[in-house]
Structure 1
């Protein structure tokens, strides 16, 4: 079995029964189940949702995206071995911990395979909820150029690169392109202030203005739970992105939940605490891969400048990255997953076939 076979790169071609188009994102693909299959599974498996809740199968891939592009390696390697399993295992671990601490639920109802979630359909809040404990990355780059206001928050003078911020900051940005909101540019991933959200809460898909404080509380509490747990395994939780949405419970009541993934190396920066105390930054997240790309190509502005997107896409398409670099990323992801969960990571030799087998035999979703 070759290395390329162990990687689940294409995840939108599984023969899962669906009557809607498969939605394929940068990393995950979503298969909406038929109404009949959703009802049957809710009854058979006893999922705590209303009987007519729409369900979906979410399949994670091993693709790696950075700077809004998908990258590949030498030897036909279309992703990073173990990456998908690592992201799911870490998210599952944090969602369980959130439940233990009495925080909100997630959209996950079942985990048939290490690369697969069964989820209930949620109404997404159109905000990338970002929390920062240290000043680094894009925030530091802007601060170093003299910017002092971020998302309506005034930062003090004298902050130092990669050092702790005076307090945990919430710096939200838009999820998708939102139109017709005063003061918010019509572009994906633009910074917004709390005032923007308050003035237009319905446009961001909040059901009520009170839910803004609720999402902020869940964000801070979730951040705190993960940060404390990471300390126990010698890691610093630097910053992260959460996503939220609404679902109805078994009684039909609407509730705000965590969505997508949380506290993973894709959605967060994680630093090794020992190295940090010695004045070094050792990344246990995708940030290390981003830094590699910036150093690897002669003109890093292509990766940082949104106006050069066609050149960036060509760069990702036409350049197979060194195999040892993708294997180093694999080691980072699988290593941090095992450290966080305290368990060995299951990486199949033929993940696509494994998924087909389990969804056919145990869930009746493949003919």
Structure 2
């Protein structure tokens, strides 16, 4: 049975919206009515273009891996996961503000499970930056691939080795059709040349905006990497997502979207483990590794053609509780290391966040 502090259903809240709720793997997005967006911009003093549209993002404790949702024997979500991810990402967004990087979508976090955000038109790109050769990058390299992300990698690299320069390996967010060399599947690899030649298909307004996107990826990565380094940690790889939103100055601007620098979107190692040649995952990757060891048919988890079979397996098979327990501890520990303080346990998150959205924001129907 779930703890009352675990929130798994987040797309049925009685929030006043302009159109249907978007229910993602982990977050649900409530698109606010124009009149509520304009009212909150004035009442809350958000420094936005007056015609900006806002949304409420409610994170859950659901666990997605290999594009499937997983449950354990006792839990349908990982205790403390959502609040940890929200707090960590909000910390990095604040660091981006301090360093005057490009803007982001987060306006306010009135409850540990809730963000008030500016809406943006998402780019159809998952911008993945890699500093070390591991995971899918290592698997491709071990198969003999030497041109990855449009970059030629030399022979002789070892697993877990630090790369001389940050590697940008973009993939599609959703299905992009009609681009030579890009498969019609989600998460398909995209070369920088294909991005430049077909930038409009990915939602970019110009080739120069693609350069801005790459610069934002590099500066965001460097910000997180440098801060983690002070704590003896290594940012191994991470994912950024970007969108286009109205600018206060007029026109539009590139902004960071989704989450940044969390244990869900990043691999994080302790430096001392890496120096011993035995890096250990302190991210959701540890669950993927546990799952790979637990499932007898590993190919089912990795083969995109077996997605329906994998989804059915995840639906019908609960993983051991210790997988969720270990991951819960990882999220809590990582949040404490980054924030410098432990997170509080959230009791009855659904009731608490609705009270706040009603009393402070006037958004509950």
From 125, 140, 165, the equivalent of 1:142 is 140
Displacement of 1:273 in angstroms is: 1.3
Structure 1's unaligned 5+ residue stretches are none
Whether 1:92 and 2:90 are equivalent positions in the alignment is: yes
Q: Counterpart in 2 of 1:296? A: 294
The CA RMSD measured in Å over matched residues stands at 1.1
SS at match of 2:12: coil
SS at match of 2:108: strand
From 163, 167, 170, the equivalent of 1:169 is 167
Moved more, 44-53 or 66-75: 44-53
SS at match of 1:79: coil
Displacement of 1:185 in angstroms is: 1.5
Q: 1 CA distance for matches of 2:265 and 2:10?
A: 20
SS at match of 1:294: helix
Q: 2 CA distance for matches of 1:142 and 1:170?
A: 15
Q: 2 CA distance for matches of 1:180 and 1:144?
A: 30
Displacement of 1:251 in angstroms is: 3.4
Displacement of 1:207 in angstroms is: 1.2
Q: 2 CA distance for matches of 1:62 and 1:239?
A: 23
Contact 1:90–1:340, Cα closer than 8 Å, also in 2: yes
Q: 1 CA distance for matches of 2:206 and 2:276?
A: 46
Structure 1, residues 166-193: CA drift from partner, whole Å, max 9, x if none?
2111111111101222322111101111
Whether 1:326 and 2:328 are equivalent positions in the alignment is: no
Structure 2's unaligned 5+ residue stretches are none
Q: Counterpart in 1 of 2:49? A: 50
Displacement of 1:319 in angstroms is: 1.1
Q: 2 CA distance for matches of 1:24 and 1:3?
A: 21
Displacement of 1:3 in angstroms is: 4.5
Whether 1:273 and 2:275 are equivalent positions in the alignment is: no
Q: 2 CA distance for matches of 1:188 and 1:305?
A: 13
Whether 1:214 and 2:212 are equivalent positions in the alignment is: yes
Q: How many residues align?
A: 365
Displacement of 1:311 in angstroms is: 1.9
Contact 1:49–1:250, Cα closer than 8 Å, also in 2: yes
Contact 1:73–1:323, Cα closer than 8 Å, also in 2: yes
Q: Counterpart in 2 of 1:341? A: 339
How high is the TM-score relative to the length of structure 2? 0.98
From 184, 191, 194, the equivalent of 1:193 is 191
Alignment of 1:309-320 (within 5 A): 309-320=307-318
Contact 1:85–1:346, Cα closer than 8 Å, also in 2: no
